[in-house]
Amino acid sequence: TGYTALDYGFVNTAATKSAITYIDGDQGVLRYRGYPIEQLAKNSTYLEVAWLLIYGELPTADQLGEFDEKIRRHTLLHEDLKRFFSALPHTAHPMSVLSSAVSALSTYYEHQSDPNNPEHVELNTIRMLAKLPVIAAYAHKKSIGQAFLYPDNSLGFVDNFLKLNFGVLSEVYQVDPVMSRALERLLILHEDHEQNASTSTVRLVGSTGANQFSSISAGINALYGPLHGGANEAVLDMLGRIRDSGESVQRFVERVKNKEDGVKLMGFGHRVYKNYDPRAKLVKESADEVLNALGVSDPLLDLAKELEEIALNDAYFQERRLYPNVDFYTGVIYKAMGFPTRMFTVLFAIGRLPGWLAQWREAAGDPQTKIGRPQQLYVGAEERNYPGLS
Binding site for ligand CMC (CB under 6 A): 9, 196, 227-229, 231, 256, 264-271, 320, 322, 325-327
Please give the helix or strand (H or E) that residue 332 lies within, else none.
helix 327-337
Q: Which residues of 307-336 are buried (b: 16+ CB within 10 A; e: fewer)?
A: bbebbeebeebeeeebbbbbbbbbbbbbbb
Known catalytic residue at 261 = no
Say which residues have a Cβ less than 8 Å from residue 59's Cβ, sequence separation at least 6. 48, 51, 52, 67
Closest to ligand CMC by CB, 115 or 219: 219
What whole-number distance in Å separates Cα of residue 167 and Cα of residue 367? 46
Out of 68, 159, 192, 327, the active site residue is: 327
Closest residue to ligand CMC: CB criterion:
269
Out of 140, 193, 228, 270, the active site residue is: 270
User: E strands within the chain?
Assistant: 21-24, 29-32, 35-36
Closest to ligand CMC by CB, 50 or 326: 326
Task: Work out the burial of residue 111: count CB atoms within 10 Å of its CB; fewer than 13 is exposed, 13-18 middle, 19 or more buried.
Answer: exposed
Closest to ligand CMC by CB, 149 or 189: 189
Closest to ligand CMC by CB, 163 or 228: 228
Closest to ligand CMC by CB, 141 or 270: 270
Q: Nearest approach, Cβ of 178 to ligand CMC (angstroms)?
A: 25
Q: Nearest approach, Cβ of 190 to ligand CMC (angstroms)?
A: 9
User: E strands within 26-110?
Assistant: 29-32, 35-36
Q: Nearest approach, Cβ of 7 to ligand CMC (angstroms)?
A: 12
Known catalytic residue at 228 = no
Q: Nearest approach, Cβ of 321 to ligand CMC (angstroms)?
A: 8
Q: Nearest approach, Cβ of 5 to ligand CMC (angstroms)?
A: 17
Residue 22: left if φ>0, alpha if ψ -120 to 50, beta else—which one? beta
Give me the active site residues, please: 270, 327
